[in-house]
DNA sequence: GTCTATATCACGATAGAC
DNA sequence: GTCTATCGTGATATAGAC
């Protein structure tokens, strides 16, 4: 494979029909999540995924037509979960509370689903060959909508002046850092669990940054 | 290759003797930087690196004994450059200015050397198989020292109370995000250059967060 | 020092029996 | 649906001529 983006027929697997199919597809996706998140798309092998899923390699390829198909379905399934917290932001709520709650949810995701976070990080790092259209589409739409809300809050003096899009970038960066760079965080932290202090730290940070004058 | 960490003799290349050797080694490292940063360690091939360096593949392997040796030397060479801004922090300076200057330098690195940032991100994401010792050693030492200074600043009321280590994490996360997740940033940003606004945004953020009461 | 040619092997994917 | 066996490709690394 020279370029993942320049390929002929990106055909997904057919939808599951029986319960066994459903179960095995789930087993495969769970195994793929584990393996892809550790070594990235290129580093992962079908052998590893098959072993992790408790299936033989050909059997795995009976359920999904190719390695790329597994990866694609995994990413798209994850995208929703990943964007949910932003969708849950209540545009009619109390501004600072809404944002702090969003930060809290994102940090929880980083703590509870680090593998998901790392798969995304890997995908973006390589230039998002699979989900770039989703980033330019759904994600951009969602961010633009949220940015409008934040701008309204600022204009109504309910939030300190801030660039709304870069505020969202900041929330992503600060929370996902604890999942994606966990090894570094723990190395510097002496191996201790960083999340309790991180939660406190981020709440302080955003409070000071965003409390209206 | 199943595990990069479980290998027998990690022997580096011999030091360069002639000017030609020096020049070719530099060519190779520059090419490796380009290729590794795009597709990660596993995704990169010696063919690509050789082509990028303008050398034949066997010739490339005359200068470095293996793909891993190239990667290792590249990472270690980068580590210094990457930590310099933190070392440059003046413990006797004006606290807020010093930190803002550090943020500015890190953001400049993200803008001017995104390939270096992405190679690090890739390495950490995969569990830092090559540079974990450096993280637990030099990096931790440097962070601990800086944290002490920040704590002194806080105790002298020259800086708002803050968890010093998580402050450093925050600076890393917020600046490197613009290099490592550039594709996502640009997708959401409509393709525009995010750096001018980012610089303004981060200065505001850290000013509000850290200005003493 | 640099090249052509090639050994060797791992990986993705397929064939075909059951 | 699941397995064993295997094909074809592409990648790292080496041999050996020049």
Residue at A4 is within a domain: no
Tokens 């550790």 -> residue: A38
Q: Is residue A5 part of a domain?
A: no
**Residue B3 domain-assigned (yes or no):** no
Residue of B nearest to A185 (CA): B169
Tell whether the model's pLDDT for residue A1 goes beyond 80.
no
Per-residue pLDDT, averaged over A104-115, amounts to 98
Q: Which nucleotide is nearest to A65 (CA to C1')?
A: C13
Distance CA B37, CA B40 (A): 6
pLDDT range class, residue B162, cuts 50, 70, 90: very high
| Cross-chain Cβ contact A40/B126 below 8 Å | yes
Q: Does A197 touch chain B (CB under 8 A)?
A: yes
| Inter-residue contact B38 to B12 (CB < 8 Å) | no
Do A52 and A129 lie in one domain? The reply is no
- B3-17, B148-162, B186-200: segment of lowest average pLDDT: B3-17
- Whether pLDDT at A71 is above 80: yes
| Token pair recorded at residue A188 | 């510097």
Considering the domain architecture, whether residues B59 and B80 belong to the same structural domain is answered as: no
CATH number of the domain that A30 lies in?
Answer: 1.10.10.60
Query: Mean pLDDT of all residues in chain A?
Result: 93
Among B169, B174, B53, B175, residue whose Cα is nearest residue B113:
B175
Tell me the mean pLDDT in the region B13-30: 84
Question: In this predicted structure, what is the pLDDT of residue B46?
Answer: 97
Whose CA is closest to B185, among A40, A170, A41? A170
**What pLDDT is stored for residue B8 in this prediction?**
40
Is the pLDDT reported for residue B63 higher than 90? yes
Q: What is the pTM of this model?
A: 0.94
**A103, A166 in Cβ contact below 8 A?**
no
Helix (H, G, I), strand (E, B) or coil at B26: helix
B35, B94: one domain: no
Angle between helices B114-125 and A114-125 (to 10 degrees): 150
- B25 CA, D18 C1': Å apart: 23
Mean pLDDT of the region B47-69? 97
Q: Judge residue B202's burial from the number of C-beta atoms within 10 Å of its C-beta, 0-12 exposed, 13-18 middle, 19 or more buried.
A: buried
Select the residue of B125, B143, B189 nearest A180 (Cβ to Cβ).
Answer: B125
Which of A139, A169, A193, A213 is the best residue to mutate to test the B interface, defined by the most B CB atoms within 10 Å of its own CB? A169
User: What pLDDT sits at residue A6?
Assistant: 40
A148 min Cα distance to partner chain B (Å): 14
Sign for the pseudo-dihedral over CA of B79, B84, B85, B87: positive
pLDDT of residue A188: 98
Same structural domain, A94 and A112 = yes
Inter-chain CB proximity B204 and A170 less than 8 Å: no
User: Measured in angstroms, what separates residue B5's CA from nucleotide C7's C1'?
Assistant: 26
For the segment B24-29, the average pLDDT, to the nearest whole number, is 96
Q: What's the domain count of chain B?
A: 2
Least confident stretch, A6-10, B21-25, B108-112, B157-161? A6-10
Asked if residue B142 belongs to a domain, the reply is yes
Same domain for B107 and B149, yes or no, is yes
Range of the domain at A54: 17-65
Same domain, B42 and B107: no
Give the pLDDT score at B136.
97
Q: Look at residues B65, B88, B104 and tell me which one is the last residue of a structural domain.
A: B65
Residue A76: inside a domain, yes or no? yes
Mean pLDDT of B78-107: 96
CA of A69 to C1' of C14 (A): 17
Interface test mutation site (partner A, options B35, B187, B199, B204, max chain A beta carbons within 10 A): B187
pLDDT confidence tier of residue A15, bands split at 50, 70 and 90: low
Is residue A130, in this structure, part of any structural domain at all? yes
Which of chain A's residues 89-118 bind strand D, using a 7 Å CB cutoff? none
Same domain, yes or no: B61 and B132: no
Q: What average pLDDT does this structure show over A195-204?
A: 98
Q: How far apart are CA A103 and CA B53, in angstroms?
A: 44
- Two tokens, residue B18: 């002639």
Q: Dig out the tokens for B172 from the structure.
A: 């890393």
Domain assignment present for A6 = no
> Which of B45, B65, B85 finishes a domain?
B65
Does pLDDT of A100 surpass 70?
Answer: yes
Asked whether residue B140 falls in the same domain as residue B50, the answer is no
> Of the candidates B188, B206, B186, B169, which has an alpha carbon nearest to the alpha carbon of residue B86?
B169
Segment B41-51 shows an average pLDDT of 97
Q: Are residues A124 and A198 in the same domain?
A: yes
Same domain for A59 and A152, yes or no, is no
- Long-range (24+ apart) CB contacts under 8 A made by A28-33 are A28/A53, A28/A55, A28/A60, A28/A63, A28/A64, A28/A70, A29/A70, A29/A73, A29/A74, A29/A77, A32/A70, A32/A71, A32/A74, A33/A74, A33/A115, A33/A116, A33/A119
pLDDT surpasses 70 at B93? yes
In a domain? residue B53? yes
Q: Chain A partners of B187 at a C-beta cutoff of 8 Å?
A: 128, 132, 135-136, 139-140
Q: What is the pLDDT of residue B213?
A: 85
Decide: CB of B44 under 7 A of nucleic strand D.
yes
Dihedral in degrees, nearest 10, Cα atoms B115, B120, B122, B124: -170
Is residue B89 located within the same domain as residue B170?
A: yes
CATH number at residue A115: 1.10.357.10
Confidence check: pLDDT of B14 > 70 = no
**CA–CA distance, B198 with B204 (Å, rounded to integer):** 10
Residues A150 and A206 in one domain: yes
pLDDT of residue A8: 41
Distance, in Å, from the CA atom of B168 to the CA atom of B154, rounded to the nearest integer, reads 14
- In this prediction, residues B89-94 reach a mean pLDDT of 96
């Amino acid at each position: 494979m020279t370029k993942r983006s320049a390929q002929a027929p990106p055909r997904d697997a057919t939808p599951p029909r029986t319960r066994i199919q459903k179960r095995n597809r789930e087993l495969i996706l769970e195994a793929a999540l584990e393996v892809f998140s550790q070594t990235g798309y290129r580093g992962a092998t079908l052998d590893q995924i098959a072993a992790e899923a408790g299936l033989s390699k050909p059997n795995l390829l009976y359920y999904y037509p190719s390695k790329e198909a597994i990866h694609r379905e995994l990413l798209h399934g994850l995208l929703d979960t990943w964007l949910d917290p932003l969708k849950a932001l209540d545009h009619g709520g109390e501004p600072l509370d809404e944002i702090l709650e969003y930060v809290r949810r994102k940090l929880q995701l980083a703590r509870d689903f680090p593998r998901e976070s790392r798969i995304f990080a890997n995908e973006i790092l390589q230039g998002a060959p699979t989900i770039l259209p989703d980033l330019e589409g759904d994600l951009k739409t969602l961010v633009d909508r949220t940015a409008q809300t934040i701008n309204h809050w600022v204009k109504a003096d309910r939030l300190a002046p801030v660039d709304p899009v870069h505020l969202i970038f900041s929330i992503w960066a600060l929370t996902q850092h604890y999942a994606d760079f966990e090894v570094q965080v723990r190395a510097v932290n002496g191996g201790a669990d960083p999340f309790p202090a991180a939660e406190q730290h981020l709440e302080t940070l955003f409070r000071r940054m965003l409390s209206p004058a």
